[in-house]
Chains A and B, each alone.
Chain A
Amino acid sequence: DTAVSQTPKYLVTQMGNDKSIKCEQNLGHDTMYWYKQDSKKFLKIMFSYNNKELIINETVPNRFSPKSPDKAHLNLHINSLELGDSAVYFCASNSGRYGYTFGSGTRLTVV
């Protein structure tokens, strides 16, 4: 199946831990993104990345870092997790002026 896949689907962890969320797309898209959706359903852009450029939303804490081993993968690493990081994280991809394809999301709960 062609898609954007994220793992894990659920992640429960303690404050202060470091965790990673993986994202892979097999659509051949040029650009990948990470979005955070909070409890009020607001979708906030965190990062945009293609093989040339990383664009960071300036409001994202530097505890969050994207890592892209190749064009098809964009992982999200989070250091020193805080309670406020609890949310659903979506990976997405697209090419050119076309719609985004979203992954199924990772529900992160920090306790």
Chain B
Amino acid sequence: QQPVQSPQAVILREGEDAVINCSSSKALYSVHWYRQKHGEAPVFLMILLKGGEQKGHEKISASFNEKKQQSSLYLTASQLSYSGTYFCGTEHAGNMLTFGGGTRLMVKP
């Protein structure tokens, strides 16, 4: 079952923060986050494996609430290079990642 991402789109000024949410109706083994720029392949950002885990990647971090079956991606002090579409991917059973519908992020100067 496809996870639900919100919001669908975000427009930011450089330096502003954003949060992207991902929720699932099924129990999660892991949550992945990817960024895709126009015309390119999705690029892996991070994976969260445990309940309550939080990870960081420069100014991009994420949390995973296993009980609530939710994950959030935090983008702080956004840069122009952060623009793109962000996808969460959820793993339930087996080994296939199911992606959310994506969140389009545009960072303006």
Chain A: residues with CB nearer than 8 A to chain B?
31, 33, 35, 40-45, 48, 50, 55, 57, 90, 97-105
Residues of A within 8 A of B99 (CB): 35, 42-45
Q: Which residue of B lies closest to A46 (CB)?
A: B96
The answer on a CB contact under 8 Å between B97 and A45 is yes
The answer on a CB contact under 8 Å between B42 and A98 is no
Residues of B within 8 A of A101 (CB): 44
Task: Give which listed residue, B40, B42, B49, B96, contacts A45 with CB less than 8 A.
Answer: B96
Task: Give which listed residue, A31, A43, A48, A50, contacts B42 with CB less than 8 A.
Answer: A43
Chain B: residues with CB nearer than 8 A to chain A?
30, 32, 34, 36, 40-47, 49, 85, 87, 89, 94-99, 101-102
A-B contact pairs, 14 of them (CB 8 A): A33-B96, A41-B101, A43-B42, A43-B99, A50-B95, A55-B94, A55-B95, A97-B49, A98-B47, A100-B32, A101-B44, A102-B41, A105-B40, A105-B41
Task: Give which listed residue, B89, B95, B96, B101, contacts A57 with CB less than 8 A.
Answer: B96
Residues of B within 8 A of A97 (CB): 30, 47, 49
The answer on a CB contact under 8 Å between B102 and A99 is no
Residues of A within 8 A of B85 (CB): 41
The answer on a CB contact under 8 Å between A90 and B97 is no
Provide the bound-state CA to CA distance between A37 and B78, in Å.
27
Q: Say yes or no: A43-B41 contact (C-beta < 8 A), given A98-B47, A99-B46, A100-B32.
A: no
* Minimum C-beta distance from A51 to chain B (A): 13
Provide the bound-state CA to CA distance between A40 and B9, in Å.
13
The answer on a CB contact under 8 Å between A90 and B42 is yes
Residues of B within 8 A of A42 (CB): 99, 101-102
Residues of B within 8 A of A105 (CB): 40-41
Residues of A within 8 A of B95 (CB): 31, 48, 50, 55
* Minimum C-beta distance from B57 to chain A (A): 11
